[in-house]
Amino acid sequence: MSTKRKLSADLEVEPYEHPSGGWGSVRSLARSLARDHVPFTGPRVLLRQNKPDGFMCVSCAWAKPADPRVFEFCENGAKATTWEITHKRVTPEFFADKPLAELEAWDDHHLEAAGRLTHPMRWDAARDKYVPVGWEEAFREIGRELKALQPDSVVFYTSGRASLEASFMYGLFARAYGTNNLPDSSNMCHETTSVALPESIGVPVGTCTLDDFSKTDCIFFFGQNVGTSSPRMLHELQEASRRGVPIVTFNPLRERGLEEFVNPQAPGEMLMGSPTRITSQYHQVKTGGDTAAIIGIAKVLLALDEKAGPSDPVIDWNFIREHTHGWDEFAAAVKDCEWVEIERRSGLTRNALEAAATVYAHAKSVMFIYGMGLTQHERGVETVQTMVNLALMRGNIGRPGAGICPVRGHSNVQGQRTVGITEKPDMVPKDKIRELFGINVPAQKGTTTVEACEKIIDGSVRAVVLLGGNLVRSVPDHRRVEPAWRRLRLTVNILTKLNRTALVHGEISYILPCLGRIEIDEQESGRQAVSMEDSTGCMHGSWGQVRPASSDLPSEPRIIAELAKAAAPTRSTIPWDAWVADYSRIRDAIAATYPDIFHDFNARLWKPGGFHRPLGARERRWNTKTGKANFITPDSLATDIDMRPEDRDIVQLITLRSNGQFNTTIYNYDDRFRGIHGSRYVVLMHPNDIDRFALKEGSVVTLATAANDGVKREVGGLRVVAYNIPEGCIAGYYPECNPLLPLWHHEKKAKTPAAKSIPVRVRADVRAA
């Protein structure tokens, strides 16, 4: 598997043996600047990225330090920036000669690469084209249509990029209109965290800040691909590793970013080519094997503690007594688990887990970092809670250098939840909202993203308004959702770039283009800033830097205000126009609604490093039902109950992101760190599985979901790539593999689609062979 292989006309595979970062990042950035025709403005704009007086990156949500580096951005953040400030435009002329039937044949990359949308467009059924429409006319018709619909039949989706200001307004608009149907990308992502952590430790978000990285003794790292998904965190990991902090990683794939890193911004490191080792112990756990692995570690800790005796305990008994609830039950369950079962489920040996436990037992302050590898499973909530149990066993919450660190996805996905984007009415301060804005928050729970799809399929949802996102690509079960989407009465796409969701339109369909965050936002009172919350619960202000893609582009707050005025004119006392004229008024309203978190919002907005939201668990105040931190015992070691490990023909498909994509935005067809170039239609397999299924590397296969619900789910034309991945697990790319993911295969409590373990069968594709 070590050499360069050409597997088809477009697919080339060559293992990437360099560290992450380094010259590869610099070359990749240069290509992005050239592709999007931003040779001059690009580098200048990049200097303002993630700076207190600049703009907050539109890529991931990783924390922004108070004393930023000269270049406080990564290769992928730079790609996201150049993608947004591209000089290419999708104007009415672009659509004039392209019926949608033709555009539907374009792939995700080419649709977005066409450039920035500049004009509001309405689908014309007679010509099957999008045609230009005036803004006023668009708002009037959308308002009329929404008024004619039952509020509960309308879904208001948000992709996690919209600012705190826009999101707050959007939530109020939907509730004034009459529904809590406010799903967001978090429903496919860290909703598992939002359900797990409140039950365990009484907070909905992680407890770690950047400061903890400089104080920690040890990092446990589960299921997150830092080199691609949040590369700026590599700086913190590099510094920790250099201090000798052990980093223990659990991931089925050996991700390069978790192995080695060269800081592309450090001239010395670049010239000397001296990488820093990141992970000290790499455990290639089977997909869905984390609960078992963690229980194994807990079992070793119990044994070590017994051996050490009361004079030198391994378990923090004082903490457990004073601060926790549920220990006895958990300890008994751990003792009951058999090693054979732990090894079988995790795919790891007892020796390996003993090694991990030994490192843990010797560390004073440990951080637990995790991503989609834990959240996107049927029992992801249990896995996260079991990981929290491990932290609690040694009092690793509520002191410096320790804590829980979920790595959030979209740049403001965490903040959207904080300011009321949620389908759960109990999560918003209803009395305040009535008193301040004259809105009666509907009592009925709204839909999650998965529930919205179910209701689109059964016809009870009639309209979808999207504030960003590309839902027909990002959700499960494409072949069921797409045809249902076409039966919707109304689809409204508030977007910066064209995507497939805008093409798969309803009876009436609009594209409403908007400003991106990197662009200067001028309103009546002058230039406006917006704000967001990062993965560590810090709020940051952000100023647009470049001229808008078109003089005609309204901001997201302006579009939301116009929709609200058109669809729910009498249902609130909100002075929508005054808010849009000066966003500091929106921030005042946020502060009045959520004073604990946002008091003096405007005054604190520019604090370097952001201002932190208060989190009880950081001070060991536990806002849970028991008033303590809870040990919650998992029901099972299996994180995916639909799995049938006894059937050896069924393998578990992990759907992954490449280094050349941001969710459904496909920048290019390369996954540099995994050494895959030219095609996304691949399936990564262990050589023994390739043999077992009588295939060869380069064979073309079809994957078929192993489900007994009578629905045929297949994706063909995938080329087999021999890869270092546990036997029985295979991997392919999201969103290409989403037709395989059944809508019902989701986290049981949180409803996060279980995208990291789809049971599939593999068969050789005879046609293409």
* Residue numbers at the binding site for Mo ion (CB under 5 A): 189, 409
Query: Is residue 291 involved in binding ligand MGD (CB under 6 A)?
Result: no
Q: How many residues does the chain have?
A: 769
Amino acid sitting at position 514: C
Query: Is residue 495 involved in binding ligand MGD (CB under 6 A)?
Result: yes
Question: Minimum Å distance from CB 319 to ligand MGD?
Answer: 26
Query: Is residue 468 involved in binding ligand MGD (CB under 6 A)?
Result: yes
Question: Minimum Å distance from CB 369 to Mo ion?
Answer: 16
Structure-token match 């797409």, residue found: 482
372 vs 223: CA distance, rounded Å: 6
Binding at 20: pick from ligand MGD, Mo ion, none (beta carbon under 5-8 Å per type): none
Nearer to ligand MGD, 213 or 250 (CB): 250
The count of C-alpha atoms lying within 13 angstroms of the C-alpha of 201, restricted to the half-sphere facing its C-beta, is: 30
Residues in 361-390 at the binding interface with ligand MGD, rule: CB under 6 A: 371-373, 376
Q: Are 533 and 71 in contact (CB under 8 A)?
A: no
Q: Which residues contact 372 (CB under 8 A, 6 or more apart)?
A: 189, 223, 224, 409, 755, 756
The per-residue DSSP string of 197-221 comes to HHHHHS-SS----HHHHHH-SEEEE
Question: Minimum Å distance from CB 116 to Mo ion?
Answer: 23
Query: Is residue 121 involved in binding ligand MGD (CB under 6 A)?
Result: no
Query: Closest-CB residue for Mo ion?
Result: 409
Nearer to ligand MGD, 139 or 250 (CB): 250
Q: Which residues contact 347 (CB under 8 A, 6 or more apart)?
A: 284, 285, 286, 289, 726, 728
Query: Is residue 189 involved in binding ligand MGD (CB under 6 A)?
Result: yes
Q: Which is nearest to 485 in space by CA: 508, 512, 460, 504?
A: 504
Q: 493: which strand partners?
A: 466, 511
With 0-12 / 13-18 / 19 or more C-beta atoms within 10 angstroms meaning exposed / middle / buried, residue 134 is exposed
Q: Are 611 and 538 in contact (CB under 8 A)?
A: yes
Q: Are 609 and 64 in contact (CB under 8 A)?
A: yes
Question: Minimum Å distance from CB 662 to Mo ion?
Answer: 10
Binding at 161: pick from ligand MGD, Mo ion, none (beta carbon under 5-8 Å per type): ligand MGD
Amino acid sitting at position 344: R
159 vs 324: CA distance, rounded Å: 36
Residues in 583-642 at the binding interface with ligand MGD, rule: CB under 6 A: none
Q: Is the dihedral of CA 43, 48, 50, 54 positive or negative?
A: negative
For helices 350-362 and 290-308, angle between their N-to-C axes, nearest 10 degrees: 60
Question: Minimum Å distance from CB 185 to Mo ion?
Answer: 5
State how far Cα 702 lies from the chain centre: 27
Q: Are 255 and 223 in contact (CB under 8 A)?
A: no
Q: Which residues contact 201 (CB under 8 A, 6 or more apart)?
A: 207, 388, 397, 404, 617, 622, 624, 629, 630
Residues in 528-557 at the binding interface with ligand MGD, rule: CB under 6 A: 556
Query: Is residue 112 involved in binding ligand MGD (CB under 6 A)?
Result: yes
Query: Is residue 680 involved in binding ligand MGD (CB under 6 A)?
Result: no
Query: Is residue 54 involved in binding ligand MGD (CB under 6 A)?
Result: no
Structure-block tokens of residue 575 = 């002075």
> Contact letters (x/-) for ligand MGD, 6-45, by CB under 6 A?
----------------------------------------
Structure-block tokens of residue 695 = 């295939």
Query: Is residue 504 involved in binding ligand MGD (CB under 6 A)?
Result: no
Question: Minimum Å distance from CB 39 to ligand MGD?
Answer: 22
Q: How many residues bind ligand MGD (CB under 6 A)?
A: 61
Query: Is residue 76 involved in binding ligand MGD (CB under 6 A)?
Result: yes
Binding at 702: pick from Mo ion, ligand MGD, none (beta carbon under 5-8 Å per type): none
Question: Minimum Å distance from CB 347 to ligand MGD?
Answer: 10
Query: Is residue 185 involved in binding ligand MGD (CB under 6 A)?
Result: yes
Residues in 131-160 at the binding interface with ligand MGD, rule: CB under 6 A: 159
State how far Cα 585 lies from the chain centre: 30
| Sole window of 287-295, 428-436, 563-571, 668-676 interacting with ligand MGD (rule: CB under 6 A) | 287-295
Binding at 657: pick from ligand MGD, Mo ion, none (beta carbon under 5-8 Å per type): ligand MGD
Question: Minimum Å distance from CB 732 to ligand MGD?
Answer: 9
106 vs 83: CA distance, rounded Å: 18
Query: Is residue 465 involved in binding ligand MGD (CB under 6 A)?
Result: no
With 0-12 / 13-18 / 19 or more C-beta atoms within 10 angstroms meaning exposed / middle / buried, residue 86 is buried
Nearer to ligand MGD, 159 or 633 (CB): 159
Question: Minimum Å distance from CB 547 to ligand MGD?
Answer: 16
Contacts by 352-355, CB closer than 8 A, 24 or more apart? 352/283, 353/283, 353/293, 353/296, 353/297, 353/300, 354/300, 355/281
69 vs 54: CA distance, rounded Å: 13
Query: Is residue 233 involved in binding ligand MGD (CB under 6 A)?
Result: no
Question: Minimum Å distance from CB 501 to ligand MGD?
Answer: 8
The count of C-alpha atoms lying within 13 angstroms of the C-alpha of 639, restricted to the half-sphere facing its C-beta, is: 38
Amino acid sitting at position 593: T
Nearer to ligand MGD, 390 or 656 (CB): 656
| Sole window of 146-154, 280-288, 541-549, 641-649 interacting with ligand MGD (rule: CB under 6 A) | 280-288
Query: Is residue 229 involved in binding ligand MGD (CB under 6 A)?
Result: yes
The per-residue DSSP string of 619-678 comes to GT---STTSSEEP---S-S-S-TT--TT-TT-EEEEEE--TTEETTEE--SEEGGGTEES
Question: Minimum Å distance from CB 256 to ligand MGD?
Answer: 10
Nearer to ligand MGD, 207 or 224 (CB): 224
Q: Which of 528, 663, 668, 679 binds ligand MGD (CB under 6 A)?
A: 663
Residues in 308-337 at the binding interface with ligand MGD, rule: CB under 6 A: none
Residues in 251-270 at the binding interface with ligand MGD, rule: CB under 6 A: 251-253, 255
State how far Cα 56 lies from the chain centre: 17
| Sole window of 398-406, 407-415, 571-579, 617-625 interacting with ligand MGD (rule: CB under 6 A) | 407-415
Binding at 587: pick from Mo ion, ligand MGD, none (beta carbon under 5-8 Å per type): none
| Sole window of 39-47, 268-276, 668-676, 734-742 interacting with ligand MGD (rule: CB under 6 A) | 734-742
Question: Minimum Å distance from CB 596 to Mo ion?
Answer: 26
Q: Which of 366, 494, 529, 750 binds ligand MGD (CB under 6 A)?
A: 494
Query: Is residue 690 involved in binding ligand MGD (CB under 6 A)?
Result: no
Query: Is residue 665 involved in binding ligand MGD (CB under 6 A)?
Result: yes
Q: Which of 197, 210, 402, 467 binds ligand MGD (CB under 6 A)?
A: 467
Residues that bind ligand MGD (CB under 6 A): 59-60, 76, 112, 159, 161, 185, 188-189, 222-225, 228-230, 250-253, 255, 285, 287-288, 290, 371-373, 376, 407, 409-410, 467-471, 474, 494-497, 499, 514, 516-517, 556, 654-657, 661-665, 734, 738, 741, 755-756
